[in-house]
């Protein structure tokens, strides 16, 4: 109960709402990392499970998303809105959280490949160099081509 009260007090210590939300995300990430269970895994539902590896990956996902939000506070692009950028980051965080929490390999593969879509849009919309379209296409092509052997082996095992 005391931890919950401290968690709810985190936004009171920061002046701007964005920093308070980021502090709340990081606090939840730290709590996720330090969660202890009687077993090695914690079943959320029939398809989702948290174990020690997924805790670390979920914490890393939340940490990187928070750093991306912090690093983009001063960036303003006239073509794309800040809300779209934040929505894409939240979508990316949700997809990656689902990918790291799922309990079968095919769903992990599908969700991890689905995380390429918001990443591709982020590169196209908010990249600095004029070669961002070419970089996005190369990223998409190399990732999909490199993951095809993984897909074949997963289908063979399944």
pTM here is 0.73
Domains: count for the chain = 1
Quote the domain boundaries for residue 105: 2-157
SS (H, E, C) the chain: CHHHHHHHHHHHHCCCHHHHHHHHHHHHHHHHHCCCCCCCEEECCCCEEEEHHHHHHHHHHHHHHHHHHHHCCCCCCCCCCHHHHHHHHHHHHHHHHHHHHECCHHHHHHHHHHCHHHHHHHHHHHCCCCCHHHHHHHHHHHHHHHHHHHHHHHHHHC
Give me the mean pLDDT over the 91-96 stretch.
91
pLDDT digits (tens, 9 = 90+) for 115-149: 999 998 888 887 777 788 888 888 888 888 888 89
**Cβ-contact 133, 124 below 8 angstroms:** yes
Q: Which residue has the higher pLDDT, 15 or 114?
A: 114
pLDDT digits (tens, 9 = 90+) for 14-47: 556 666 666 667 776 666 666 655 556 666 667 7
pLDDT at 2: 47
Q: Can you read off the two tokens belonging to residue 19?
A: 């920093």
pLDDT at 4: 52
Give me the mean pLDDT over the 46-52 stretch.
76
């Amino acid at each position: 109960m005391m931890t919950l009260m401290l968690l709810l007090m985190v936004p009171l210590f920061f002046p701007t709402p964005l920093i308070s939300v980021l502090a709340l995300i990081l606090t939840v990430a730290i709590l996720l990392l330090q969660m202890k269970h009687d077993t090695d895994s914690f079943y959320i539902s029939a398809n989702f499970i948290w174990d020690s590896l997924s805790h670390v990956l979920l914490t890393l996902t939340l940490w990187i998303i928070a750093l991306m939000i912090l690093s983009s506070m001063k960036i303003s692009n006239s073509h794309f809105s800040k809300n779209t950028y934040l929505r894409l980051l939240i979508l990316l965080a949700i997809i990656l959280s689902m990918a790291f929490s799922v309990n079968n390999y095919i769903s992990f593969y599908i969700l991890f490949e689905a995380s390429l879509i918001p990443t591709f849009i982020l590169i196209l919309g908010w990249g600095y160099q004029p070669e961002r379209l070419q970089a996005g296409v190369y990223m998409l092509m190399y990732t999909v081509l490199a993951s095809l052997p993984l897909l074949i082996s997963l289908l063979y095992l399944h």
